[in-house]
Structure 1
Amino acid sequence: MRGFGRVGGVVAALALVVLGSAGGGGRAVAASPVSVRVMALPQSVFVPRHGDSGYAEPYLLALASGGVDGSGDETDLTDVEAVFDLSSLAGKVGVQLTSGGPSCTEDQGVVRCPLGDFYQRTELSPFKLTALEGTSVGVAGTIGLTVTASNAATVTRTTQVVVGSPRLTTDPVTSQELTGGSVQVSPAFGNRGDIAVTQGITLQVSSAAGTTARYSNCRYNRADAPTVAECTFDRALAPGDAFRTDGAFSFAPPDASSGVTVTYAVWPTGNPPDLAGALPADAPRGTGGPLGLTAIDGSALVAGGSTELTFLPPGGTHVDLAATAFTITGKIGRTVDVNVPYPTTPKGGFDRSMVEGPLEVTMPPGTTALPLGRDEETEAVYCVPADGGTKATCGFGPDGFGTVLRVRIDRKVAGATGTITVRPKGDIDPNPANNSAAITVAVQGGSPSGSPSATPTSGSSPDSPAGNQPSPIATAPAAGDGNGDRLAATGTSGAPLLGVGGAAFLLGGVLLVVRHRRRRTV
């Protein structure tokens, strides 16, 4: 969260990341004009007053191409330049260019960042802001953004710069026994900072269990049994203020043996917690009256803009987690990328909070786990090799992209079998015998000529329950390979990569963020 602390989701040291689009697709679609889309630009940036060692709010934005060609590929934006006018901050707020991103320059309070050509999305945080001595708390000025491209219309945006830090508070993280058939959660939040939030407050409540689309000032991720509610309160939150909602969000577990975990977060309206943290403006709204706020004593609230409330079933949670077997398929000397299936439960689905750390892999004899290349880009989480590639740990990737194991098939070993193991938390699993499953190898054809391939082909993975299986890795035809191997497609390379948003789901391993450009079909 931008300085307001969603658990595990703080965006740190962001630099330029070039992203392509996800998924395949061969159907012709209607082309659309190229345009510049400005996403996730904050309405305000809060800069701690001089001498305050608190968190300095980053200025972060994402740019993307708004047009597609006839095949559905995003059309490149060309000769893009982002210009930031910070002249109104002179003498009040200092500007320091960040390293690791585009080659930005600053002159007389104007920062210019040439971005070149890109498709889909670019994220950047070109500078840091610091309040100068003597600057009073309050609005210090604005940041004017102008984005130009040789093939799209110019766009402009403005962000307000505020000296001072609202320090949001929420209920402490708790775990308690579930009583009755459902839980009722009434979120609370406050402000212990030195400046008011005047742009309104947004509250987001989420759970794996469904609730009802009840409140008219809330948007929901779907109309029927939504799992995410996002509510906006058009009021200021002054230092010392604290409120609790006057209505509750009701969540029911699927059965009496299951628990419920509810997470909620708050942020200044217009400052979403990360680049993909807010629901779209056209999301379904509640059909009842508005959710209101009641003033409370906020002394029991704790620092941080988010919290997690866990309701355990009577006697505690007991879930039979089973590791899922899979097969590595490819030719000797080839490197393949294999989707790693997640554990299963008897009722389907998989809650990452039930496991202790990442999945553990012991490679089958004749195979080696490999790391992702330094300049490669992918939105999946790649397993991290250990012990010379004989083992690996596999974190849990963002929904829709999942986790990928990169494997080199060195030689054919009869009956070669490895293992994938899940470690349930504590003693929640009454049947540990199925916490490990087999990894087998299916070697295709003979050994190819020449050196082992350094470019991965698409491997194989088994079917998994709905909601657990990551989407297949995007592939493109391999040039000059008469055997029909397909090499993994990649987007633009060479940019520093950072975990944004999805890092909250990473339990071990390394998260690299980028999307593959669509594969064209002829």
Structure 2
Amino acid sequence: MTDLRAGIRRRRATTAWTAALAVVLGGAVTSCGPERSGREDKPSQGAKLAFKDPLGTSYLRYLTESDREDMTGNFDPFYVNLEASRASPGRGSVNARDIKVTVDLSAAKSVTFNDMKKEQGCKRSGDLVTCTPKNIASGESEHLWLFDMVVRRNAAKGPAGSMNVTVSSSNAPTIHHTTQLVIGAPLLTAREDGEPSPAPVEPGSEPAPLEPGSEMKLRPAFGNEGDVDVDGDLSVVVDVKGQATLSRQYSNCRYDKADAPKKAVCTIPGPLPVGAAYETDRPFTVAIDKTGRQGLITSTLYPAPNTPSSDLLPESAPRGTGAPVGLRPADGLRPADGSRYTPFGGDFAQGELRFLTTRRYDYQVNGLTLKGKVGDEISIDVMDEDGYYEGETYLTLPEGLTLKEAHEGEGDDVYCGYIDKRNRKVLCPEPHADHARLRVHIDKRVEGTQGTISVEPDPEHPDPDLTNNTAPITMEYVD
């Protein structure tokens, strides 16, 4: 046990936004959530292609003369993220074949397009760029770098036209997407503590434990310290992890469930001007479970056309029953105002608020579902704020899996390790900056197999409920 703990490598905290200005297209073209420009032609014939998280608005870096003196890295790469799937359910892989990506540049303004990528078969003729990437197997995705973009000298900040992307294949329907170009980029920020009520938390101090069964109010706040306004609608996504739920309050918000939702996706009219900070004009109400121990509430802001598919909810999702939530001016954006806003380096920002209750010694664990097909190697965070946060976690793996421990050269990641390989017993070490990662290989299919995940109570404090210290690990096989 001691040797295992000593060999664990830890992962340093990194910024939540590592590619702020890259222009990325891609995710299934969908009408869910904020309106997006995407459509699909005629029924599929074997395979299906989709854009993965296409951007409705692409912000390009505005270059000063000093920036242009050294152009190394001073360009915006243009990517298309494509994902392939079977057109109908079934086993076995289907390739999307003879893929052609066409980008129409005729409506773009004040932008130079260059360095067509030969590895994707990209060529330019007039205002059309045509690329012929390799086939994509169903279940796979490709991140295709097609060309680079540079804002022209003396170009004005603001809207710069659009680009139309068409993707066709010999055995999949044609798909389309339009992205609007903007010269200059916002720099969105989020207020650090979310201003929970009743009493604000002093900077640097720990919030007082809350009572299980109580309510708390949350007013997310965001600012823009960039060089262009965010025009149009904004998306505010509130996500509750842990032993708490949201109230289904606002008519311009979709919720993941009608009763006791954990997530709200709200479309709020913009703009968010440069130099401004706004908070929601009505609070979100968070109800803590009667046996709740802890939780994490995140509040994320996106330009509505750039909301990733993972944060969207379908049009059919239940809405709130009350008046719409909006934005109102907030103080403290600039350092001179005593700023408590954290920048994220691009067109999204996220604030978070953790809470603990007086039931802090009720150590809890939630079950895990491992999903994949035979031959896959999968890696997941063992725990999140829904369960136990301090201390070690013990696992018994389902049959048919092999644990993959940490290897040399993997940086600071924290990985679980065997303590009894023969009986599939695993230890996941105490988390610090990050939770431990469980990495396994699916060797074979074993129907109905289950494992367990458990935590041990604090020996110095009574645990009021030992029944929630162990939960199942289940397998979900993908054909």
**Is the pair's TM-score, using the shorter chain for normalization, greater than 0.5?**
yes
Identity in percent: 22
Distance, in Å, in 2 between the alignment partners of 1:469 and 1:143 is 46
Amino acid aligned to 2:318: P
- Distance change (3 Å), C-alpha of 1:192 and 1:472: same
The answer to whether 1:302 aligns with 2:342 is yes
- Distance change (3 Å), C-alpha of 1:71 and 1:419: closer
Structure 1: 5+ residue stretches without partners: 1-5, 20-31, 325-334, 364-368, 371-381, 396-404, 407-412, 427-434, 436-453, 475-517
The answer to whether 1:420 aligns with 2:426 is yes
Computed over aligned residues only, the root mean square deviation of the Cα atoms, in angstroms, reads 4.8
The answer to whether 1:242 aligns with 2:277 is yes
- Distance change (3 Å), C-alpha of 1:155 and 1:136: same
Q: Offset at 1:250?
A: 1.6
Deviations 1:180-235 (A, max 9, x none): 51221111112111111112211000012211221110111121111110101122
- Distance change (3 Å), C-alpha of 1:14 and 1:155: closer
Distance, in Å, in 2 between the alignment partners of 1:343 and 1:241 is 39
Q: Which residue of 1 aligns with 2:371?
A: none
- 1:213 pairs with one of 231, 248, 251: 248
Contact 1:82 1:114 in 2 (8 A): yes
Q: How does 1:398-413 map to 2 (within 5 A)?
A: none
The answer to whether 1:189 aligns with 2:222 is yes
Q: Offset at 1:271?
A: 0.5
- Distance change (3 Å), C-alpha of 1:294 and 1:339: closer
Q: Offset at 1:159?
A: 0.9
Q: Offset at 1:162?
A: 0.6
Q: How does 1:212-361 map to 2 (within 5 A)?
A: 212-255=247-290, 258-272=293-307, 274-297=308-331, 298-299=333-334, 300=339, 301-304=341-344, 305-314=349-358, 317-320=360-363, 351=386, 354-355=389-390
- Distance change (3 Å), C-alpha of 1:84 and 1:303: same
Q: Offset at 1:154?
A: 3.2
- Distance change (3 Å), C-alpha of 1:143 and 1:229: same
- TM-score (norm: length of structure 1): 0.59
- Distance change (3 Å), C-alpha of 1:204 and 1:36: same
Q: Offset at 1:283?
A: 2.2
Q: Which residue of 1 aligns with 2:129?
A: 111
Contact 1:94 1:131 in 2 (8 A): no
Distance, in Å, in 2 between the alignment partners of 1:418 and 1:336 is 18
Q: Which residue of 1 aligns with 2:178?
A: 158
Q: Which residue of 2 aligns with 1:499?
A: none
Q: Which residue of 1 aligns with 2:197?
A: none
- 2:208 pairs with one of 177, 190, 207: 177
Amino acid aligned to 2:96: L
Deviations 1:369-392 (A, max 9, x none): 98xxxxxxxxxxx7344489xxx9
Distance, in Å, in 2 between the alignment partners of 1:321 and 1:259 is 10
- Distance change (3 Å), C-alpha of 1:139 and 1:339: closer
Distance, in Å, in 2 between the alignment partners of 1:57 and 1:87 is 18
Task: For residue 270 of structure 1, give the secondary structure of its aligned residue in structure 2.
Answer: helix
Q: Which residue of 2 aligns with 1:202?
A: 235
Q: Which residue of 2 aligns with 1:462?
A: 451
Q: Which residue of 2 aligns with 1:122?
A: 141
Contact 2:396 2:451 in 1 (8 A): no
Q: Which residue of 1 aligns with 2:39?
A: none
- 2:475 pairs with one of 460, 471, 488: 471
Q: Which residue of 1 aligns with 2:111?
A: 92
Contact 2:84 2:141 in 1 (8 A): no
- Distance change (3 Å), C-alpha of 1:386 and 1:160: closer
- 1:134 pairs with one of 137, 147, 154: 154
Number of residue pairs matched by the alignment: 380
